[in-house]
């Protein structure tokens, strides 16, 4: 998520303002950028335990150390540092203390990968003196939910209460999952619609390629991506694959209607989160929100609200690809490479659309259901996700080569797909590789992962 909201902005009096807000994200191709976000678990190296907010080796101490040593600006909520910002980047806290980098909008995958590497090095340099480490996997492999400390952020207290009314795994989503996502631009409404359809249809493939959460509470859980499974039982009002995206007439306005019909969580006023969970933004626009009678929402309230929608791809003023487990640093570069290759070159986008244009919503839902458990062996139209992966990666590689964005020694962005090509060729996801280690070298324990795979 972003840094704390302001609760300010122009009043929202009609739906057209919201449609124009989404449309304002349109950019010419030369202005398209790449924004990569990732989360990771923080743990104590001494006993691998989760890290609370307070204490000499707590999350607050980690944030303070980053701010003091590397010039990050602190952002507070009720006297607690909950976010840092610097040069269009944010570091924020997920509910269980997961550390998230929301990167700057960058021109190339080379820049994105350098940003990730620099961030991880900064984190290492301040975490090690505190006796802390960081691990990138999709679901916490060791500790049960009750062992994970909650962070002191007002929105999380509201979500914590409401999540338990809507599904059985919402608290696990909040406390025990980590993801990597990439945020990409569109040129027009038609361009947005094509990109949204392609990326929604192929999101189960991303889930399979990046599957990296086969463990929970120290044991095998029967999934390749348990994180993705968690999202299937979190909150049906705001998750999944919105079927209307594939219907005739899809538009900015259709997405705005979807967001308006998704229940709210909170409104931010005067430094406090007001619990309006389950209430309607439409009523808010009519001045009829019970918690704020007579008050109209601001555009900032709308921006906050759309961050609480959790479909597999989210439209704000850009598109967010949300289907992948967090993983090793090469995977943090591989995810943006995959989607930039598919969506930022017109020939690649056309080829990807041709692959998925005849799929039914039922077929896409079946893929979403199967991918978390079966990974690349999940069925899809015409074969398995492994078969599809080979085709999609070839399209993405061609798209990256066509972009022609080289680093200083002449390396193309398609080099960042190397690990994914290996995964597609072998059929072995990151989860499969970790399961083999668990069954052999690790002797049936997940604890060695915290040494072998820590950033």
Structure tokens at 263: 């229940």
When pLDDT is averaged across residues 226-246 and rounded to a whole number, the result is: 97
Residue 78 confidence (pLDDT) above 50: yes
Rounded Cα distance between 180 and 307, Å, is: 16
Rounded Cα distance between 91 and 3, Å, is: 8
Residue 447 confidence (pLDDT) above 90: yes
Residue 320 confidence (pLDDT) above 80: yes
Domain ranges of the chain: 15-452
Residue listed under structure tokens 């069925």: 379
Which residues are within 8 A (CB) of 40 and not within 5 positions of it... i.e. 6 or more apart?
A: 98, 99, 134, 135, 136, 178, 326, 455
Given 3.40.50.460, 3.10.450.50, 3.30.590.20, 3.20.20.70, which CATH number is that of 15-452?
3.30.590.20
pLDDT of residue 5: 58
pLDDT of residue 7: 54
Residue 304 confidence (pLDDT) above 80: yes
Q: What is the DSSP track for 373-401?
A: HHGGGSEETTEEHHHHHHHHHHHHHHHHH
Using a 10 angstrom Cβ sphere, with 0-12 exposed, 13-18 middle and 19 or more buried, the burial of residue 225 is buried
pLDDT of residue 219: 98
Q: What is the pLDDT of residues 118-140, one digit of tens each?
A: 999 999 999 999 999 999 999 99
73 forms beta bridges with 85
Structure tokens at 170: 């919402």
> How sure is the predictor about 8, in pLDDT bands with cuts at 50, 70 and 90?
low
Q: Cβ atoms within 10 A of the Cβ of 76, count?
A: 11
Which residues are within 8 A (CB) of 34 and not within 5 positions of it... i.e. 6 or more apart?
A: 105, 106, 107, 108, 109, 111, 112, 182, 183, 184, 336, 340
When pLDDT is averaged across residues 237-263 and rounded to a whole number, the result is: 97
Q: What is the largest CA-CA distance in the chain?
A: 64
pLDDT of residue 10: 87
Rounded Cα distance between 14 and 75, Å, is: 32
Q: Are 180 and 324 in contact (CB under 8 A)?
A: yes
Helix (H, G, I), strand (E, B) or coil at 141: coil
Rounded Cα distance between 48 and 26, Å, is: 45
pLDDT of residue 151: 98
Angle at 192 between CA 191 and CA 194, to 5 degrees: 65
- Which residue in 298, 143, 279, 109 sits closest to 218, CA to CA? 143
Sign of the CA dihedral running 362, 170, 215, 151: positive
Sign of the CA dihedral running 75, 129, 103, 153: negative
Distance from first CA to last CA of the chain, Å, rounded? 21
Residue 63 CA, distance from chain mean position = 21
pLDDT of residue 3: 47
> How sure is the predictor about 407, in pLDDT bands with cuts at 50, 70 and 90?
very high
Helix (H, G, I), strand (E, B) or coil at 132: strand
Give the residue ranges of DSSP H helices in 267-384.
Answer: 281-285, 299-306, 329-343, 346-356, 361-374
């Amino acid at each position: 998520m972003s840094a704390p909201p302001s609760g300010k902005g122009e009043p929202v009096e009609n739906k057209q303002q919201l449609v124009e807000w989404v449309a304002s994200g349109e950019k010419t191709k030369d202005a398209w950028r790449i924004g990569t976000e990732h989360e990771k678990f923080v743990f104590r190296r001494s006993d691998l335990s989760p890290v609370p907010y307070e204490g000499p080796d707590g999350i607050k101490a980690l944030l303070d150390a980053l701010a003091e040593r590397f010039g990050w600006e602190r952002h507070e909520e009720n006297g607690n540092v909950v976010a840092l910002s610097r040069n269009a980047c944010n570091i924020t806290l997920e509910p269980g203390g997961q550390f998230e980098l929301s990167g700057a909008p960058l021109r190339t995958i080379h820049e994105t990968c350098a940003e990730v590497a620099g961030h991880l090095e900064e984190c290492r340099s301040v975490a090690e003196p505190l006796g802390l480490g960081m691990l990138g996997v999709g679901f916490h492999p060791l500790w049960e939910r009750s062992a994970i400390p909650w962070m002191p952020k007002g929105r999380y207290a509201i979500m914590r209460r409401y999540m338990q009314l809507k599904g059985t795994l919402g608290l696990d989503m909040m406390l025990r999952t980590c993801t990597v996502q990439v945020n990409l631009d569109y040129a027009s409404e038609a361009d947005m619609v094509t990109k949204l359809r392609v990326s929604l249809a192929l999101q189960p493939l991303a889930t399979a390629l990046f599957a990296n959460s086969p463990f929970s509470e120290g044991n095998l859980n029967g999934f390749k991506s348990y994180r993705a499974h968690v999202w299937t039982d979190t909150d049906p009002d705001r998750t999944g694959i919105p079927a209307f995206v594939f219907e005739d007439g899809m538009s900015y306005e259709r997405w705005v209607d979807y967001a308006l019909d998704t229940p709210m969580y909170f409104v931010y006023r005067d430094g406090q989160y007001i619990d309006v969970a389950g209430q309607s933004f439409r009523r808010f626009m009519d001045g009829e929100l019970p918690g704020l009678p007579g008050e109209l929402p601001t555009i900032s309230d709308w921006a906050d609200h759309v961050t609480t929608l959790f479909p597999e791809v989210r439209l704000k003023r850009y598109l967010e690809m949300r289907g992948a487990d967090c993983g090793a640093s090469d995977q943090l570069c591989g995810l943006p490479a995959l989607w930039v290759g598919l969506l930022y070159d017109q020939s690649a986008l056309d080829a990807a659309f041709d692959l998925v244009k005849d799929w039914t919503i039922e077929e896409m839902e079946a893929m979403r259901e199967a991918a978390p458990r079966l990974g690349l062996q999940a069925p899809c139209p015409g074969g398995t996700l492994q078969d599809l992966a080979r085709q999609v990666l070839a399209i993405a590689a061609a798209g990256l080569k066509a972009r022609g964005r080289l680093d200083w020694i002449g390396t193309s962005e398609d080099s960042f797909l190397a690990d994914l090509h290996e995964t597609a060729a072998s059929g072995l996801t990151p989860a499969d590789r970790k399961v083999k280690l668990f069954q052999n070298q690790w002797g049936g324990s997940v604890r060695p992962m915290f040494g072998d795979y820590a950033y």
